[in-house]
Amino acid sequence: MESPIKPGCTSTSPVIKTIEMHTGGEPLRVIISGYPEILGDTILQKRQYVKENLDHLRKMLMFEPRGHYDMYGALLVDSDLPEADIAVLFLHNEGYSTMCGHAIVSLGRLAIDKMYVPPTEPETEVNIQCPCGLVKTFVEYKNGKSGGVRFHSVPAFLFASGIEVEVDGFGKIKVDISYGGAFYAFVCADVFGLDVRSSPTSSLKDVATAVSNAVRKRVKLHHPDDSDLEFLYGTILTDGQDKWSGEPTANICVFANAQVDRCPTGSGVTARIALQHAKSLIQLGQKRLFESGANKTLFTGMAVKQTKCGDFDAVVVEVAGHGYYTGEASFMLEEEDVVGKGFLLR
């Protein structure tokens, strides 16, 4: 349907249409039309192209007044893998991620409901190409309605354990670094006298940001597949309960430019399961509950298969959660609207 809005000023951008969703409280703005052509033979080349040529649109859609500091987006693009049903680039306050589990959960439902993939009962497989690789997604579908989503990760692995870094204000701290489609540093919050379930989010954010800064100064990351994957996405503070248990274990993820994840973090759960499996704290097929320190929402995670990623011993991890619709939107930018190009207030 044509928009009833008739701008008084000339629009300097196309009308960009989105579907608004959330997974575990973490927002997802899915961009379904309105972007210019995205060039590149591979998805990593497309990611580079939008960084270099279309970043003003990321700022317009993620930043205020249309978004906010912790907004998250997903941009649907053409896939270069014949087995992929859809392909996606991930957007946030700093740039472009290589993997996002909460986005995958919501996108699985969207792919069924928008008929990108014909639904079948009781579960429909949707193959989603991400910058980190192909993610197999499985969407519940019963009585004509989509439901919960689980996905199988790209190979996830423990990169390094017990690395000592100098954290401003805290001295030398040991961290683990694990990969779940993106690299994360892991450390127990009580090392800093904090609790992921009850400490102020601002305190947790500040500590996690300091850890990320320290790791980026100290550690050179390596990924066997592509150098574009070799960056630390963020730090995940945990409750320290890494040994398998039937009780939920809590964590909070601070990523990109001190952006706080509201949900348990799908790629973070993937990396944390890989870490726990590498330390023999969890076995294949042992399902765990992961609780968001921000709002108590839950994901499940388990290692389902051992594999390799280059020389790294790795696992394929299954993560499950629920995504929900919150609305639809059409966004534009008028010529005289300088502020409308995007700004952040924290």
What is the set of active-site residues?
100
Cα three-residue angle 8-62-93, rounded to 5 degrees: 145
Query: Is 76 in contact with 32 (CB distance < 8 Å)?
Result: yes
Q: At which residue do the structure tokens 């309105």 appear? A: 34
| Token output for 150 | 């689980």
Q: At what angle do helices 101-113 and 266-278 cross, to 10 degrees?
A: 130
Query: Is 54 in contact with 68 (CB distance < 8 Å)?
Result: no
As a residue count, the chain comes to 346
| Token output for 47 | 């990611």
CA distance 27 to 215: 27
Burial track 121-152 (b if 16+ CB lie within 10 A, e otherwise): eeebebbbbbbbbbbbbbbbbeeeebbbbbbb
